[in-house]
Amino acid sequence: MAAANATRASRGKRSRAASPAPRAGAVLVTGVCGRLGKGLVRVLHRERRVVGVDRRAFADKPKDIEHAQVDLRRTKLKDVFRNNEIEAVVHLGVMHDPRASAADHHSWNVAGFSKLLEYVSQFHVPKLVVLSSANVYGPQPSNPQFLGEDAPLLGGQNFSDIRDLVEVDMLAQSFFWKLPETETVILRPVHILGRVHNAPSNFLRLNPILTVMGFDPMTQVVHQSDVVHAIDLALRPGIRGIFNLAGPEPVPLSTLIKILGRQRLSVPYSLARMALRRLWSLRLTTFPPPELDHIRFVCMVDDRRARQILGFTPGMSLEETVRSVDLGRW
Amino acid sequence: MVTASRALARIDSAARAAPGLLRRVFGVAEQTLDDLLDRLMGERFDERMQRVPMALGAAGVDPFGMDPQWARYALTTIGLLHRRYFRTEVHGIENVPEGRILLVANHSGQVPIDGALIGASMFMDAEPPRIVRAMVEKWAVSLPFVSLLFARVGQVVGVQENAKRLLDQGEALLVFPEGAKGISKTFDKRYKLSEFGLGFMRLAIETGTPIVPVAVVGAEEQYVSIANVETLAKLLRMPAFPIIPQLLLPGGQLPLPTKYRIWFGEPMRFTGDPDDDDAVMDEKVWLVKQTIQSMLNRGLKERAHIFW
């Protein structure tokens, strides 16, 4: 933990030295009340004005952050753009709740994001950073070991519930040519670990951890603070395009479990799928059955672009990254 | 629910972490097995293994999931087949240049033992020893245990991106341009090369990699297939469904102990535009195919007997 703090401190210094003088414009962060959003604004608000947007309330908000408790789909969002000089939008407000209905997902993720894009173009915001995910590529047996940014987005092929996430990525991509004067950045991080409550972190918090018998795919993980750092880097002027983000070197899934020192329960695939389907329909689990593919097949990314163009290097070691799922479970 | 799964996990981990005594027995057995294999083979596997350059990460595996420990066991087992069972004769291995290479071989024998033995000869007979990475069918990657084993012994899914990355690392890559069609050939078509894919040629030109033609003689007779039932294969989502009568005989499940002869040809270098028309590629591929076919013909002519 001390080491983690030290890295964070040194990173703070590094990014402060690298960034130009503070500007008047504000950074608008959607989904600010998520754990990742809170982490991001804590880094950003030291140097720039930050406006948070979320339909949830921001409980322990730092004083200098403005928070608009607005639903992305409401026209009230326009007021936020009108009343502030927004010079960058960071879109984290993507709904991943596997229990929410498909209609909810679509209306929130796609309709909400379209509204946001509309205002970005209307108010000539020069920078847009969208946090997508490497899941949009989808785990497949035919995947190359390292997927490039130009790989097809097949995530919805076997898992239709995440089609709206693919659509969000595609919508952001269409911005490259629709609005070339806005610098659009799409980040596709691999499994984000940390205090966040996403599927990979929750999966590693299981005890015992379920694995599929006879499969032990290579996996990449990234610490939430490294993702925050990458978003910070993506906000620099001149950066645009799609970037895959990966943390420390890839390791087999079994190594992650070994680092955590958890027990492991390996189950044949057919049995695991059957049990998970039953548990899912009984609402006893938060893992939809198609997610089993993530612990069978590889879905790893080639992050050379992020390292070369974005200048991103993960600050957290593998151990720190994996152990972070157990830290401060609040 | 949670307690039940905990209990299951406990059984699971109890089986995994065998009690001390058992583990020691296994440890001794493992040690003696290692020694026995080494003595049987008369070669030092560990010493050769150490001379193979590998980019290992913290978990002791390379980015593609190859684990030298697993690879060593696999190679020892295959080495036993290579030296004792199939008594492979290796010709022309000194032709294989250093650095990145594309080994292009005929594919035969229903089960990819040919690939394993090419790998064994590159490790045991070549100087310096090299680990061959083969490109495997994506179907194999969706099978439990098989996918795990293949990844740990250095096999990768046969897609262009993987091939390019491995060649950039200076690895030796084995490809079978005949694909599944080649390996599931029926007995009447033995040693007649079926159609070659063009992908390997585009890859070789794009990455400037020399192609080493390889002819494997002896694999066609290990399993005699009299037919390939394609409808059944499609139904079972398998690449082929061969009918092999010997499987019904006791002990016939093992491949017949034919004598393998592996011929490594002179490296061939090709230049041009990797995105050229298929017709242009066809000519270059034809050259490779003819080279392998004539190596096969020569090998067959010089072979005294199928079994020795």
pLDDT tens track for B63-102: 899 998 888 888 888 888 898 899 999 999 999 999 999 9
Sequence ranges of the domains in chain B: 51-302
Single out the residue of B255, B160, B173 nearest to residue B214, CA to CA: B173
For residue range A107-159, what is the model confidence (pLDDT) as tens digits? 989 999 999 999 999 999 999 999 999 999 999 998 999 999 999 999 888 88
Residue type, B188: D
What would the two tokens of residue B200 be? 């390997």
What would the two tokens of residue A204 be? 């590693």
Residues B103 and B173: beta-carbon distance below 8 Å: yes
Quick check: bond before A208 cis, omega within 30? yes
Q: How far is B155 from chain A (nearest CA, A)?
A: 11
Q: Chain B within 8 Å of A275 (Cβ-Cβ)?
A: no
What would the two tokens of residue B29 be? 């057995």
Q: Chain B within 8 Å of A214 (Cβ-Cβ)?
A: yes
Residues in chain B: 308
Own/partner pairs for B40-48, CB < 8 Å, 24+ apart? B40/B80, B40/B84, B41/B76, B41/B79, B41/B80, B41/B83, B43/B79, B43/B124, B45/B72, B45/B75, B45/B76, B45/B79, B46/B72, B48/B123, B48/B124, B48/B129
> Taken in order A315, A94, A211, A217, is the CA torsion positive or negative?
negative
The CATH code of the domain at B51-302 is: 3.40.1130
Split at pLDDT 50, 70, 90, the class of A7 is very low
| Whether residue B220 has pLDDT greater than 60 | yes
Q: Look at A142 and B141 and tell me if their CB atoms are within 8 Å.
A: yes
Select from B10, B13, B144 the Cβ nearest to the Cβ of A269: B144
Residues B35-53, mean pLDDT to the nearest whole number: 73
Burial (CB count <10 Å: 0-12, 13-18, 19+), residue A216: buried
Burial (CB count <10 Å: 0-12, 13-18, 19+), residue B301: exposed
- For residue A249, what is the nearest residue in chain B, using CA coordinates? B57
Q: Look at B61 and A318 and tell me if their CB atoms are within 8 Å.
A: no
Return the residue matching tokens 């930050």: A50
Is A268 a member of any domain? no
What would the two tokens of residue A236 be? 């620099």
Which residues does chain B have within 8 Å of residue A286's beta carbon, measured at their own beta carbons?
A: none
In total, the C-beta contacts within 8 angstroms joining chain A to chain B are: 95
Single out the residue of A140, A155, A216 nearest to residue A188, CA to CA: A155
- What are φ and ψ of residue A45, in 5° steps? -70, -15
Q: In the beta sheet, which residues pair with residue B86?
A: none
Looking at residue B46, its pLDDT comes to 77
| Whether residue B13 has pLDDT greater than 70 | no
Instruction: Tell me the helices (H) and strands (E) count for chain A, helix number first.
Output: 12, 13
Total domains in the fold of chain A: 1
Among A110-119, A241-250, B24-33, B240-249, the least confident range? B24-33
Q: Look at A218 and B10 and tell me if their CB atoms are within 8 Å.
A: no
Burial A228-238 (b: 16+ CB within 10 A, else e): bbbbbbbbbee
Q: Which of B61, B136, B153, B168 to mutate to test the interface with A (most CBs of A within 10 A)?
A: B61
B229 vs B12 pLDDT, higher one: B229
DSSP string over B103-160 = EEE---SSSTHHHHHHHHHHHHTSSS---EEEEE-HHHHTSTTHHHHHHHTT-EE--H
Looking at residue A15, its pLDDT comes to 44
- CATH number of the domain where residue A83 is located: 3.40.50.720
| Whether residue B140 has pLDDT greater than 90 | no
Looking at residue B292, its pLDDT comes to 94
Q: Which of B138, B142, B155 to mutate to test the interface with A (most CBs of A within 10 A)?
A: B142
Residues A194-218, mean pLDDT to the nearest whole number: 91
pLDDT above 90: percentage of residues in chain B: 33
Q: Chain B within 8 Å of A263 (Cβ-Cβ)?
A: yes
Containing structural domain, residue A184 = 2-194+221-251+300-317
Select from A144, A212, A269 the Cβ nearest to the Cβ of B159: A144
Q: At what angle do helices B113-124 and B68-80 cross, to 10 degrees?
A: 100
Residue type, B69: Q
CA dist list (Å): B186 to B109, B193, B293 = 9, 12, 17
Q: Look at A148 and B161 and tell me if their CB atoms are within 8 Å.
A: yes
Single out the residue of B128, B216, B205 nearest to residue B172, CA to CA: B128
Split at pLDDT 50, 70, 90, the class of A14 is very low
Q: Which of B8, B13, B157 to mutate to test the interface with A (most CBs of A within 10 A)?
A: B157
Is A266 a member of any domain? no
Is A278 a member of any domain? no
Return the residue matching tokens 């046969």: B158
Is A276 a member of any domain? no
Q: How far is A263 from chain B (nearest CA, A)?
A: 6
Which residues does chain A have within 8 Å of residue B147's beta carbon, measured at their own beta carbons?
A: 141, 214-215, 296
Instruction: Supply the ipTM of this predicted assembly.
Output: 0.79
Single out the residue of B226, B222, B220, B212 nearest to residue B191, CA to CA: B220
For residue range A55-69, what is the model confidence (pLDDT) as tens digits? 888 888 888 889 999
Select from B8, B61, B65 the Cβ nearest to the Cβ of A265: B8
- For residue A258, what is the nearest residue in chain B, using CA coordinates? B59
Non-local (6+) Cβ contacts of B306 within 8 A are B218, B221, B258, B259
Torsion angle, alpha carbons of A247, A253, A259, A265, to 10? 150
DSSP string over A96-124 = --TTS-HHHHIIIIIIHHHHHHHHHHHTT
Q: In the beta sheet, which residues pair with residue A51?
A: A28, A66
Select from B6, B8, B63 the Cβ nearest to the Cβ of A145: B63
